[in-house]
Amino acid sequence: MDQLLESQEKERESVGRRSLSARVRQIPPSGIRKFFDLISSMEDVVSLGVGEPDFVTPWHIREAAIYSLEKGYTMYTSNYGLLELREAVANDLRRRFQVEYDPTCEILITVGVSEGLDLALRAIVDPGDEVIIPDPGYVSYQPCTILAGGAVVPVPTRLEDGFKVRASEIEARVSSRTKAILIGYPNNPTGAILSHSELQAILDVAQRHGLLVISDEIYERLVYDGKHTCFASLPGARDRTILLGGFSKSYAMTGWRIGWAAAPAEIIEGMMKIHQYSALCPPIMGQKAALEALRNGEQQSLAMTREYDRRRRVIVKGLNEIGLPTFEPKGAFYAFPSIATTGLSDDEFAERLLREERVAVVPGTAFGEGGRGHVRCSYATSLNNIQEALRRMRRFVERVRA
Ligand code: PLP
């Protein structure tokens, strides 16, 4: 009987393996998921792991969704998303960055920036096309490129440069197969931002070589030092840019799954061809809530940003005092200390810190090879948690060094 069960199990496994496409098999298991599986089996963990606001969505935004349900808004919207919401996104981009998009055909409401990113890559990448991506970068960039049939060309960024990608290093990697440059600033996991002139230098490279730029600006409202430059607002950039933005981080709306893409009409039309057959549209209640966020959410968003800024100062100071050199993040809500002096790899550091001191951080290599020797600590958690995590990390580092 046991043998029968065993052979059935083997057969199932082998069918499963054979069924997966080569593209899917190419994707390594997520470095982050492994840790979250571990954390969920433990008690008393102080988590600096998740990249998610600890705030609840502001009440007036939740109320807008509740009201929409009371009014019976439970149906599909246009595949582009609610026109009112597209108009609000276009107005916001015009008001803050002086960049113009036609809400009827140049803006698409997506299921978070996650879907926007996937659509953008699938709409433009042919098999073997190369996408140049700063490394480390957000965990989805590389897998989504591969799943779209593309090849990832990473550009390492370094602590000494404040983790800014150099346009010259992008240009050195351009080939006849390069299709696009994919940037995400403010950056997850490093907190780096790029100045107007640094973005201009990337645009110059894109123009010289006829490339598209996908610019993931999900953290654009979370900038502590300096001012955010919207890539599409640079003169001549709009027509070669797919701009991605969303609500998850700045309005504490991760669970609502609403984002948007803005791009020239032909590109949005291409993205729409995928979106209409896969997602159709994001939930209408979420879209109603996002509309309220854009119309009346600025003050709460600013208040949350001020609170992250307070936490940022505490965590950066604390990590440096422990002897883990930490670049001062300029945006987003992550600190990215170097753990090289402990002699542990980033994987070992994160795993031992979790097991021995019950503090969750994410190994830097989860964000690409360029993250080696670092860990990501999210400060989208309470000051108390941050202080407790720092106490435990100090104890851990002292023990490892002893
Ligand atoms: N882009 C970056 C850089 C992120 O950090 C995240 C989430 O962590 C996303 C996109 C996904 O955002 P959304 O919740 O809008 O899908």
SS (H, E, C) 135-177: ECCCCCHHHHHHHCCCEEEEEECCHHHCCCCCHHHHHCCCCCC
**396: enclosing H helix or E strand:** helix 383-401
User: How many A from CA of 247 to the centre of ligand 1?
Assistant: 9
Residue 264 lies in a domain: yes
338 and 200 in a single domain? The answer is no
How remote is the C-alpha of 334 from its chain's centroid?
Answer: 11
User: How many A from CA of 61 to the centre of ligand 1?
Assistant: 20
Helix/strand/coil for 80: coil
- Give yes or no for residue 9 having a pLDDT over 90: no
185 and 332 in a single domain? The answer is no
Nearest CA-CA partner of 210 in 176, 161, 160 = 176
User: How many A from CA of 402 to the centre of ligand 1?
Assistant: 39
Looking at residue 148, what is its pLDDT? 97
Looking at residue 1, what is its pLDDT? 58
Helix/strand/coil for 360: strand
258 and 363 in a single domain? The answer is no
> Closest Cα to atom 12, ligand 1: which residue?
113
DSSP state of 108: E
61 and 251 Cβ atoms separated by less than 8 Å: yes
Taking only the tens place, the pLDDT of each residue in 283-300 is: 999 999 999 999 999 999
Taking only the tens place, the pLDDT of each residue in 193-212 is: 999 999 999 999 999 999 99
41 and 108 in a single domain? The answer is no
368 and 184 Cβ atoms separated by less than 8 Å: no
260 and 108 Cβ atoms separated by less than 8 Å: yes
With the most atoms of ligand 1 within 8 angstroms of its CB, the residue from 121, 187, 231, 249 to mutate is 249
284 and 378 in a single domain? The answer is no
Q: Name the token pair of 267.
A: 């590109």
37-46, 65-74, 314-323, 371-380: range with lowest mean pLDDT = 37-46
280 and 155 in a single domain? The answer is yes
Counting Cβ atoms within 10 Å, is residue 221 exposed (0-12), middle (13-18) or buried (19+)? buried
Tell me the HSE value of 152 on the side-chain side, using a 13 A CA sphere: 23
Which atom belonging to ligand 1 lies closest to the Cα atom of 216?
Answer: 1
Which atom belonging to ligand 1 lies closest to the Cα atom of 254?
Answer: 14
User: How many A from CA of 13 to the centre of ligand 1?
Assistant: 33
Residue 307 lies in a domain: yes
Residue 18 lies in a domain: no
> Closest Cα to atom 4, ligand 1: which residue?
138
173 and 210 in a single domain? The answer is yes
Q: Name the token pair of 112.
A: 């978070």
CB atoms within 10 A of CB 196: 13
179 and 246 in a single domain? The answer is yes
Residue 181 lies in a domain: yes
- Give yes or no for residue 188 having a pLDDT over 90: yes
pLDDT mean across residues, the chain: 95
260 and 394 in a single domain? The answer is no
Residue 16 lies in a domain: no
Looking at residue 120, what is its pLDDT? 98
Last residue of some domain: 229, 261, 296? 296
Q: Cα angle at 129 between 195 and 163, to 5 degrees? A: 25
Looking at residue 39, what is its pLDDT? 83
The Cα–Cα gap between 259 and 244 comes to 8
Share of the chain above pLDDT 90, in %: 88
Q: Please list, residue by residue across 272-282, b when 16 or more beta carbons sit within 10 angstroms of its beta carbon and e when fewer do.
A: beebeeebebb
Last residue of some domain: 271, 296, 321? 296
Average pLDDT of the segment spanning 41-65: 94
**213: enclosing H helix or E strand:** strand 212-216
Last residue of some domain: 269, 296, 323? 296
With the most atoms of ligand 1 within 8 angstroms of its CB, the residue from 30, 33, 135, 188 to mutate is 188
Average pLDDT of the segment spanning 47-54: 91
- Give yes or no for residue 368 having a pLDDT over 90: yes
With the most atoms of ligand 1 within 8 angstroms of its CB, the residue from 119, 138, 251 to mutate is 138
User: How many A from CA of 332 to the centre of ligand 1?
Assistant: 11
Structural domain that includes position 366: 24-53+300-401
The Cα–Cα gap between 278 and 119 comes to 10
**Binding-site residues, ligand 1, Cβ < 6 A:** 51, 112-114, 138, 184, 188, 216, 218, 246, 248, 254, 259
267 and 361 in a single domain? The answer is no
User: How many A from CA of 51 to the centre of ligand 1?
Assistant: 9
Residue 2 lies in a domain: no
Which atom belonging to ligand 1 lies closest to the Cα atom of 187?
Answer: 3
Q: Name the token pair of 104.
A: 């009827």
Q: Which residue has the tokens 């009409």?
A: 265
Number of domains in the chain: 2
> Closest Cα to atom 7, ligand 1: which residue?
51
The Cα–Cα gap between 18 and 14 comes to 6
Average pLDDT of the segment spanning 185-197: 97
Average pLDDT of the segment spanning 5-19: 79
Looking at residue 31, what is its pLDDT? 67
* CATH code for position 311: 3.90.1150.10
82 and 49 in a single domain? The answer is no
* CATH code for position 200: 3.40.640.10
Residue 161 lies in a domain: yes
Nearest CA-CA partner of 202 in 133, 107, 118 = 133
Share of the chain above pLDDT 70, in %: 100
pLDDT band at 230 (very low <50, low <70, confident <90, very high): very high
Residue 375 lies in a domain: yes
36 and 89 in a single domain? The answer is no
Which atom belonging to ligand 1 lies closest to the Cα atom of 111?
Answer: 16
